[in-house]
Amino acid sequence: MKYAREVIDLLAAHPNRMFKMRQILNHVVPRADQRQLAVARTGVWRALLALEESGQVVISRPDVNGSHAEYGWKTITSSYGKASQIPAQ
């Protein structure tokens, strides 16, 4: 995946924040023209879907037409209310 590293860097750095696609694109390709944005949007979307499938990203898809989806890094909360990692086996 071409943009997976940039998407992971942004979302993992802010685990309690939801991002719109435009904000992610501004991070991935900051000074892109319309053609570059269209190409990057497809690549970022594919990376986000793969990360959602693996359980790393949560996608908030609104029910209202015209609203935008939001993307965030999925955190696991321990019983004490602190974010934690799943232990490796």
CATH fold label, 4-80: Arc Repressor Mutant, subunit A (1.10.10)
> Which one, of 7, 3, 13, 9, lies nearest residue 59 by Cα?
7
Give the helix/strand (H/E) hosting 41.
helix 34-53
- Give the per-residue pLDDT at 75: 81
Query: pLDDT (tens digit, 0 to 9) for every residue of the chain, 89 residues total?
Result: 789 999 999 999 999 899 999 999 999 999 999 999 999 999 999 999 999 999 999 999 888 887 889 999 988 765 555 555 555 55
CA contacts within 13 A on the Cβ side of 21: 18
Q: What is the pLDDT of residue 16?
A: 87
**Alpha carbon distance, N-terminus to C-terminus of the chain:** 27
Distances 38 to 4, 16, 45 between C-alpha atoms, Å: 16, 27, 11
Strand partners, 20: 70
pLDDT given at position 20: 96
pLDDT at 45: 96
pLDDT of residue 12: 94
Q: Note the pLDDT of residue 87.
A: 54
